[in-house]
Amino acid sequence: MNDKVVVVTGAGSGIGRATARAFAARGDQVVLVGRRLEPLMETGAGEPLVASVTDPAAIVEFVRSRYGRLDVLVHNAGVVRGGPLGSVVPSEVSEMLATNLVAPIMLTQEALPLLEASRGVVVNVSTAVGQRGWAGNSAYAASKAALDTLTRSWAVELAPRGVRVVAVAPGAIATPIGANQGWSPERIAAVRKWQLEVTPLGRVGEPDEVAWAIVRLASDEAGFVTGVVLPVDGGAMVG
């Protein structure tokens, strides 16, 4: 993996931060994409790029002009919006779909010439609830389940062009996503309680454990792996 160029979206915290650091530790050149500079600087494992994932042309142009290539594109940025039916606000769902689904589609499309030239890899960060379901937040679960479908569809579509497409589906992971979404401490605690109840290993995972899977799926040693959605969820999807 040494000297490959890697783009990680949502690199300012949680899984994105851990993934960027894991790639950098292998000697790769990492572009850290996020909306705020300070968290990206705290990640400290690559070159920060303050940009929205809804502006794919700006991201790809930066990578093209700065590095001239792209080997790995990690779609990690995501937001949680919505709630139980009866409380869903259309504008919030639209915002979530723009980040969780439309942005990966358009960014991959924009980056495809670079990925094809390098015979690169696309990594989608999905979620275990995309396959289990999430009663009380079906819109979020659906937005991430769509990434699983994209992974399988793109794996077939892009294989003739030399591009692999894989995904990881994290379960309960110790990230600040709930706090970042403005959830109350009570809601965060309730969600965590439910997650632990459906996780056979009985604990919360660490971002580094998800990053481990991402880096290895993107490695040359995984060159015969495409279209897979790998659960990193403590057994939640089979429990």
Strand order in the sheet with 164-170: 47-50, 29-34, 5-9, 72-75, 121-125, 164-170, 229-232
Q: What pLDDT sits at residue 75?
A: 98
Angstrom distance (rounded) from CA 194 to CA 129: 12
Give the torsion sign (CA, 44, 122, 206, 219): negative
Q: What pLDDT sits at residue 57?
A: 98
Q: What pLDDT sits at residue 82?
A: 74
Residue spans of the chain under pLDDT 70? 1-2, 130, 133, 136, 177-183
Active site residues: 140
Angstrom distance (rounded) from CA 184 to CA 191: 11
Q: What pLDDT sits at residue 1?
A: 44
Q: What pLDDT sits at residue 177?
A: 67
SS3 38: helix
In 90-161, which ranges are E strands?
A: 121-125
Q: What pLDDT sits at residue 125?
A: 97
Angstrom distance (rounded) from CA 193 to CA 200: 13
